[in-house]
Amino acid sequence: MTSAARFFQPANRLADSVDVRFGLSVDTAADRGGQVILNAGDDMRKSVKDWVAEIMRLSEQQDPDKARLSWLANGILGVGGAAGMMRLSRCGGLFAHAVDLMGDRWRPELGALYGNAIGRLLEDTDSVASQESMLASLEDMNKRLAGETPAES
């Protein structure tokens, strides 16, 4: 009895859009690649919304899966950066750091606070000043979790 392996190559919209093997100019490839990334924004937003919902569910637990929370936070950090949403990315990084700082001292209300902040930044309806103020407050909270007073740094 013989068996044959079949290989499937996943679709890669970005790679397909910038394939220069057939005479596509670099400028055209860059324009097409940028458009694919912009079009993928809706998919990225949906994924992050799903992650926020999971963060909120996990945060309600007294001892949530912290590895999963870290994975979600780092995912938000990366997706936000890739989508050019730097404040969202920064919030994901702050949340990942907060999860590490809390360790075994999990505080459900802080997880929910981060989940709400990420959701608000994803919606992007607050003013830039309001978003920056919220992020500064989260940075101060992380300093308190680390045992520093916010004015020390």
Q: Alpha-carbon distance 121 to 24, whole Å?
A: 37
More confident residue, 1 or 108: 108
* Cβ atoms < 10 Å from Cβ of 103: 9
Tokens of 95: 């949340």
DSSP state of 9: P
CATH no. of 42-152: 1.20.120.160
| pLDDT for position 135 | 96
**C-alpha 141: how far from chain center:** 20
Task: Please give the backbone phi and psi of residue 83, each rounded to the nearest 5 degrees, phi first.
Answer: -90, 0
Q: Which phi-psi region, left, alpha or beta, contains residue 8 (left: φ > 0; alpha: ψ -120 to 50)?
A: beta
Over the stretch 68-113, which tens digit does the pLDDT of each residue have?
999 999 999 888 887 778 999 999 999 999 999 998 888 999 999 9
Q: Is 19 a residue whose pLDDT tops 70? A: no
Contact present, 13 and 34 (Cβ < 8 Å): no
Q: Alpha-carbon distance 27 to 18, whole Å?
A: 10
Residue whose entry in the numeric block shows the structure tokens 């992020």: 135
Give the domain ranges of the chain: 42-152
What pTM was computed for the model? 0.71
More confident residue, 44 or 89: 89
Tokens of 67: 């590895």
pLDDT band for position 14 (cuts 50, 70, 90):
very low
